Amino acid sequence: MKRAYNFNPGPAILPLPVLQEASQGILEIGGSGMSILEVSHRGGHYEAIHFEARDRLLKLLGLKAEEASVLFLGGGASVQFAMVPMNFLPAGKTADYVVGGEFGAKAASEAKKVGSVNVAASSEADKHARLPRGLHWTPQAAYAHVTSNNTIEGTQFQALPADTGSPLVLDATSEFLSKPVDFSRVGLVYAGAQKNLGPAGLTVCVLRKDFLATAREDIPAILSYKAHAKADSLFNTPPVFAVYMFNLVLKWLEAQGGLEGIRKVNERKAALVYQALDEFPDFYDPAVTEKADRSKMNVTFRLKGGDKEKDKEFLAKAEARNLVGLKGHRSVGGFRASIYNAFPEEGCQALAAFLRDYAQGRA
């Protein structure tokens, strides 16, 4: 079987042992005579997986069941752009939004349709080439929404913004479970699964119970965090297969030493790629201008000169070395190496070697 060094930004690479186990689960789950794709979400086979995934996640995050609710929702992370303000932004309150990239801008613009929004800071004037500076928080805001890793632009908060004065709501779609999360100031974290967690179709939310208690109830139940929490994420049919895969990914993560273990690996991986780029400043332009803001999940860069033919040649030569999915997002161009948890360290070594060889005319 051929296995590419897959830098796709999401859906993205998954751990091989997870895919191998899932290929068995597609045929039969737990001696049931049924595929994971065929069992009822109300039956024991699925329920065992569902609650195992919930409990594994809480344990990995160092949270107790009394402290936080885990939700498995469908619809993609974009649904959260609407659900967050519908649930937590009542009339008479303002929510703070930090706009560090395209997804943060979308989240803020959706929230504006629901209620009062203050853009606490934006990096739009810098074309999001660095994180926003000079954050202005609203006193007693409903919450402060932050995209903790900007997938398209390649910036990442290394520490959560301080002094928000209101609970943080994190869109952690492209970094969730790549490192520990400090839940002391977080009300809600959400992440679309298709980067670090599993296949597309699942969005994982973790809500502190004290924050969840403040959610509105006079909204359609399918969009209500409280309704989903009350039903243990079995309010309607959950994305069964994606939750099953998520549980396998969590098991794999435990074997990597949990969030601390994977953080160290992710730091080493990112350093390999950035170091190779930095060795050739006349050849490569890292897209992020501040080194401190560089993402450990999405490494964005360009070739100097902006020659489209050269860009094509770069991608073709990379593919010839089994380095796949390096094209940058269509809105920003250039290149992006998405090196999520499941992306192997030797793949980063292979990319670093290619970057050096290409710059020296040896590729």
Ligand X SMILES: Cc1ncc(COP(=O)(O)O)c(C=O)c1O
Name the site residues for ligand X (rule: CB under 6 A).
10, 76-78, 103, 147, 151, 171, 173-174, 192
β-pairing, 94-99 vs 116-122, is parallel
Residue whose CB is less far from ligand X, 132 or 192: 192
Q: Shortest Cβ distance from residue 318 to ligand X (Å)?
A: 22
Residue whose CB is less far from ligand X, 25 or 104: 104
Residue whose CB is less far from ligand X, 10 or 154: 10
Residue whose CB is less far from ligand X, 166 or 196: 196
Q: Shortest Cβ distance from residue 175 to ligand X (Å)?
A: 8
Residue whose CB is less far from ligand X, 151 or 233: 151
Residue whose CB is less far from ligand X, 77 or 131: 77
* Nearest residue to ligand X, scored by beta-carbon proximity: 76
Residue whose CB is less far from ligand X, 10 or 328: 10
Q: Buried b vs exposed e over 333-361: b needs ≥16 C-beta within 10 Å?
A: ebbbbbbbbbbbeebbbbbbbbbbebbee
Residue whose CB is less far from ligand X, 77 or 355: 77
Q: Shortest Cβ distance from residue 189 to ligand X (Å)?
A: 12
Residue 303 region by backbone torsions, left for phi larger than 0, else alpha for psi between -120 and 50, else beta = beta
Q: Shortest Cβ distance from residue 173 to ligand X (Å)?
A: 4
Task: Find the Cα–Cα–Cα–Cα dihedral 95, 99, 102, 104, rounded to 10°.
Answer: -30
Q: Shortest Cβ distance from residue 156 to ligand X (Å)?
A: 10
Q: Shortest Cβ distance from residue 192 to ligand X (Å)?
A: 3
Q: Shortest Cβ distance from residue 146 to ligand X (Å)?
A: 10
Q: Shortest Cβ distance from residue 206 to ligand X (Å)?
A: 16
